[in-house]
Every structure is written in structure tokens, then in C-alpha cells.
Amino acid sequence: MSGWNHARMALVLVLAASWANASPGAEASGATRPGNGNGAAAKLPPPPPGMFAPPGRAITHVKGDLYRANNGGWYVAILDTPDGLLLVDTLSVPFATWLKEELARKFPGKPVKYVVLSHSHWDHTEGGKVFADTAKFIAQEGFLRNMDGRYPALPGDIVDRNDDGYLDVAEFEQPSLQRPWYCGAGSNSVTSKDKDGDGRASPAEFFADTPRPDIVYSERMTLRFGGKTIDLVFPGRNHANDGTAVLFRDERVLFTVDFPVDALVQDSMRSLPSACGPFDGHPMDEWIKSFRTLEALDFDISVGGHGSAQFTKQDIAEGRQFMEYLKREVQAAMSRGLSLEQMKKALLLEPYRSWRHYDTLREWNIQAAYDNLKVYK
């Protein structure tokens, strides 16, 4: 599949607007859908608990001068300094409009001076235009390449089945081999971005409402602002090809978005990945390398762009160890000539039986790893 050969960025288009159409009760456990690549129906697990977060918006304190604001299960980071505010992500335009008003009340006289864009998936970034009157935007250099279409900003063979660089309504309504049904949003994710009404969305249309970064970096950037030191780190290719982890050095807090905490399992790091984020778009080895990059940073707690939980460096290490274990087990089974269905029965992933969502997501993780290892030989 040529999309994989181009190592396309996995654009997880699971937005609040789309979730309204993909309610958690839409399909029951064990439901089937066509399109697993072999003409057979794929058995799909139910959504993990915590995936469909209740609606609600609030600004909450994290540590020191660091805060988070949430729109349901989506979060942004807010750093308060004497010279103004710094945000990580902005989410949707309606949320960003609400946030701007709330920030003016909570931090009067302090405009948003910087917005760090965690990665170029528009559910996290398009509201940035609300802050364009005062803020400079910072992103990893891959963000610009994705905006300009030099690297396709669509998830390749996952949904761009005819490999034309556009996301068509018909394509988006087809479930992926790699993903449970809830990992793809409804077709309104395309139609909402289809500016010219031709039934498909190009990279340019997807980014039409996303601010263009004013400052880009390659591997690492240190920003000193308002007496604070903030490190921006590119962990490598994982959920996205242009991700930024933000280390608030004075608070000793690491803020990450969609990696390493999978976007849809928000309750605990000791959860089997939902298989929406893990393994898509890039080789498992690159995911593992990205984990190690974060482990090498100096922080006490980590919070993310999804879910309210806080994590430690040990939690992140355990996430890496799970991925390493899963890769070894699936590779060994492939070497023995086991089929995917045989693997699902034979690989019990015993060390992780106590992890959350084991019963519903064990087989799906095996399939996701199998697909990834077949593609990235």
C-alpha cells in the first residue's frame, strides 16, 4: 500500500462534532463491519470506558503556574507568567472563543503571547485563529510540511483508499483494517472541511482554519518567557510526524498530546492501548524510540491533551515495555507461521492481564501490531 510506503501521518479525526454522530451505543460488543481488507467482516471491540468523555469546560490548576482547560475529554495547557500567557493547543473555534473570555477573567491584563501547536491534527489546533491577534505560534517543522502538502496530511491507506491525497466522504465511511469503528469519525468530518463542495477534503482544506506557525524547530527548542523556561521536544514519529512534547521546566511537568497516552483511553496508563493511536502511520520501533526520548527528560509528572489522569516517568516506561513485549510476541508468532486468528487465540499477553481493557482490547492490539509489522518489514 503506497500510503504506508510514504509513512503517512496518522490523522486521528475524532472530533467532538463527529462523536455526536458516533455515539458509544451505535454498535454493541462483537458487532461486525465489512472492509477488513480480505472481504471478510472484522469483529470489533466496544469503545473503552472513558472514551466518550462527558461535556464540560473548566480551567483547573496543575502545579505552580501551570493550568489546564478542558473541552470534555480534550485538554490544553496554560502557563501564567508576568509577561503574559502561553498555551499548548487551542482545540475548536467555539472552545477557543470560550477560553479567551475565561482567560481574560482569570488572568486580567495578560494576553496570550505564545501558542505551541502540539501536532497538526486539526481537532487540537484550529481554534488558534482566535488568539492570532496577540500570539505567535510555534510548532515542529513537520507541521509546515503537512500544511503545505509536501507530506500528505491524510492517513494514507487507512482511509485514503484510492491514494489521491484527498479524503473522500465514501472513503471515510469505510472502517479501517487497523481501527475499531470508533476510531474514525463520521463523514461530517469530511463535509465540515469540504470548502468547495466537491465531496472530498484536501490537506489545504483541512488546514484552512489552522494558524500557520510563526516559529518552527527541528529536534528541540528552549523558550524563555516571563521568567519561565519551556523546552519543546520532538520525540520522533509516533501518533503524528510533527509532534511536540512540552516540558515546563520550573514546574517539572511534561505536557504531551495523543502520545504517549493514547487519545482514547483516558483513565490510566496501565491500560491496553485502544489501537486507534498506537501502531498507525509509523513503525513500532519509532514509537518505542519516542517513548525513550520522553523517559530521558527531567520531570516529576506528566499530563496530557486527553483525560484528567496524571502520570509518572515509570508509567511511560511501562507503556514502552508493553509495546516492546507485544512486538516480540507477535514477531515470534509470525516467525512460527501462525495466522492472525491463531495469534489472537495463542497470545494471551499474560503479564498484562491485570491492565484495564485487557478483555476488550487484547485481540485488537495483536491485530494492530500484526498489521504494523507486516507493513514495516
Question: Residue holding cell 472552545?
Answer: 95
Inside any domain, residue 373: no
Note the pLDDT tens digit of each residue in 316-327.
Answer: 899 899 999 999
Domain containing 124: what range? 57-145+210-267+300-311
Within 13 Å and on the Cβ side, how many CA atoms surround 224? 1
Inside any domain, residue 322: no
- Listed in sequence order, the residues at least 6 apart from 182 whose beta carbon sits closer than 8 Å to its beta carbon are 14, 22, 24, 47, 51, 264, 276
Inside any domain, residue 292: no
Flag residues of the chain having pLDDT under 70.
1-55, 150-191, 261-269, 274-281
Note the pLDDT tens digit of each residue in 344-358.
Answer: 999 999 999 999 889
Inside any domain, residue 255: yes
What pLDDT score does 202 carry?
Answer: 73
Give the chain's domain count: 1
CA-to-CA separations, 260 to 210, 239, 302, in angstroms, rounded:
24, 8, 10
What pLDDT score does 238 carry?
Answer: 86
Q: Where are the alpha helices (DSSP H) in the chain?
A: 2-5, 16-19, 93-106, 122-125, 142-148, 169-172, 188-191, 203-206, 284-295, 313-335, 340-346, 358-375
Inside any domain, residue 116: yes
CA-based max dimension of the chain: 65
Cβ burial 253-273 (10 Å sphere, 16+ → b, else e): bbbbbbbbbbbbbbbebebbb
- Look over the chain and give the mean of its residue pLDDT values, rounded to a whole number: 78
What pLDDT score does 153 carry?
Answer: 42
What pLDDT score does 191 carry?
Answer: 67
Note the pLDDT tens digit of each residue in 154-195.
Answer: 443 344 556 666 666 665 555 444 444 345 444 455 667 777
Inside any domain, residue 239: yes
First to last CA, the chain: 13
**pTM score, whole prediction:** 0.81
What pLDDT score does 28 carry?
Answer: 29
Question: Residue holding cell 477557543?
Answer: 96
Inside any domain, residue 120: yes
The CATH code of the domain that includes 227 is: 3.60.15.10
- Residue 249: which of 215, 268, 222 has the closest Cα? 222
What pLDDT score does 102 carry?
Answer: 98
Inside any domain, residue 256: yes
Burial class (CB in 10 A: 0-12, 13-18, 19+), 149: middle
